[in-house]
Structure 1
């Protein structure tokens, strides 16, 4: 039996003292009629399959319409993301299921990964698959795409060409504004006097390997090098314990940074000294997933850094955010050495899930 609105026994009411109770009765009866209509759509025995199809199609229509107008944009973006994830996973399912192999089994076939890829790229691809096996493929689309396109990137000249790993679809410029990492920049600049004092203390002991320095050029008189000299605190994701003990304030400051890359081989931190007359030829950094933060400690005026064709100079007590995956050169024509504290920070457009995966892929233990 089907009811219509004309058959509902709506109680008559008059405006006045009984109007509220009459309205409530009307709403109650409308609710009961709605429940009856919803119940009549349930599948009857013997028609379970048809009921499932009907309810499934209703849910599909509700999900595509975004339930309400206020959520149309978010529903559309979720569908786009889910389509990307589905496409990405389907690439990994092209295996023989009869042999009991799942999509997480490492495969380096030509269809999924360029056969001409370097041994390092294949190693990173296997590490990505191992990460997905332990955790999830969700959010790994850009990393997967970057590994497959790395070979093509290395084959042509470009102003931005990281030689180890390129994360696609990451907006980037040679020099980033302070707002990209405002908190970390303010922490470094606030501790600049203490950091400078600790540098001067280790500098007075002499630039020598037995004191923790790595010299990249010949030394001359008065403890000044003609090339580069680095006093590492973190080297390729590994803490240099002896050097950190010599600079406790600098070490604590670095650890207090929110975006410091401390868990993989892409991240380093330390004092970087450039001697008078030194020049660095054109080169690319290893990846575009990081930014190098340079805190100026001693910055003579005739010292210039050119990144992606844009020149910049350091300033004492201030930070400079550099994407060194761009082609960059450096020249120093002053008589005094230039000194900075260099700290590697995550690129602000690298998502948290991607950072976790990159920590796994570039772990110093791998």
Structure 2
């Protein structure tokens, strides 16, 4: 038995020696230039991964910080900013891009850098992007590069959510009418917010405000709030996500302004649409229609007005923010992390 084992072991060593010798000869016969190219590409890949993880974003002066001086501190194109420290859009934060880059690095450590190219590029070059954008589109907080831009989107962009909202038009309208009855008892019922406008009254009733649920308001519109959970592309987990009822009284004009980002598209579902009411985005006017959704990119310069007679009542829409259709799933997850409320 021992002799047979020794013979087998000796044969195995011979085969191993032949295998190693063949491998060495193959390397010697291989094209030296090809090996050098492969080694160089491998070294470049390792360097790139290290560079991405260590690079800091370039400093820039944010759009909001430029507004700190003079009258621009409270008014831009007639549009007032709230200056709330909790407001991602209105708070003046010179170190915003550093904070965003820190959040991106933290996300990548927990998950992956895969698919983060556009976000990394956007944070690193944010100042250049915002300063070089044409005046028709200037998001105030974050610009994601290489997204198709257009003032209005077709219904097909988010077909499922558009159709779901329109099917539930009677439900949303019913809950709004129950809310609006309270106006007969007091000037401004609890939960409603008055927004700045050059003329008239612009009122909003938020169910979700900058990614945060408003529990008291949601309890007053339970079916509408539950509907938000059925939307596939609702921006509900970061500060760019909102859902509210918006009311314009006759004679109201909303001054031209820009939204905070281009990663979302804003959806308006018409609830009450009197005559002579228009939304103008990027210089293109559109009218609302009851029971129909209107999709637009609010990072474009936009305004709205209600020029109808007083006896026709207010213009009312249900507004919800949806993801831009060209923001990938991995990017959505990362942006939810980077722009999480309170982060």
Counterpart among 228, 235, 258 of residue 202 in structure 2: 228
Judging changes above 3 Å, is the alpha-carbon distance between structure 1 residues 318 and 364 closer, same or farther for their aligned structure 2 residues?
Answer: same
Counterpart among 339, 349, 353 of residue 326 in structure 2: 349
Does the CA-based 8 Å contact 1:208-1:215 persist in structure 2?
A: no
Counterpart among 284, 307, 311 of residue 258 in structure 2: 284
Measure the CA separation in 2 of the matches of 1:54 and 1:253.
Answer: 68
Counterpart among 150, 175, 184 of residue 173 in structure 1: 150
Matched with 1:45 is 20
Does the CA-based 8 Å contact 1:160-1:326 persist in structure 2?
A: yes
With normalisation by structure 2, the TM-score equals 0.75
Q: Offset at 1:115?
A: 2.2
Q: Offset at 1:153?
A: 2.7
Does the CA-based 8 Å contact 2:182-2:189 persist in structure 1?
A: no
Measure the CA separation in 1 of the matches of 2:324 and 2:31.
Answer: 42
Matched with 2:121 is 145
Measure the CA separation in 2 of the matches of 1:355 and 1:51.
Answer: 48
Measure the CA separation in 1 of the matches of 2:217 and 2:316.
Answer: 17
Does the CA-based 8 Å contact 1:263-1:363 persist in structure 2?
A: yes
Q: Offset at 1:187?
A: 0.7
Measure the CA separation in 2 of the matches of 1:148 and 1:306.
Answer: 32
| Max Rg structure | 1
Does the CA-based 8 Å contact 1:205-1:211 persist in structure 2?
A: no
Q: Does 1:214 align with 2:188?
A: no
Measure the CA separation in 2 of the matches of 1:284 and 1:233.
Answer: 22
Q: Does 1:126 align with 2:83?
A: no
Q: Does 1:115 align with 2:59?
A: yes
Which structure 2 residue ranges, 5 or more long, are not aligned? 1-17, 36-40, 62-93
SS state at 1:45 partner: helix
Judging changes above 3 Å, is the alpha-carbon distance between structure 1 residues 353 and 54 closer, same or farther for their aligned structure 2 residues?
Answer: farther
Matched with 1:260 is 234
Q: Offset at 1:122?
A: 1.5
Judging changes above 3 Å, is the alpha-carbon distance between structure 1 residues 328 and 217 closer, same or farther for their aligned structure 2 residues?
Answer: closer
Measure the CA separation in 1 of the matches of 2:200 and 2:182.
Answer: 18
Q: Does 1:295 align with 2:239?
A: no
- Please list the CA deviations of residues 44-77 of structure 1 after superposition, one character each: whole Å capped at 9, or x if unmatched: 42353454688999x99xxxxxxxxxxxxxxxxx
Matched with 1:192 is 169
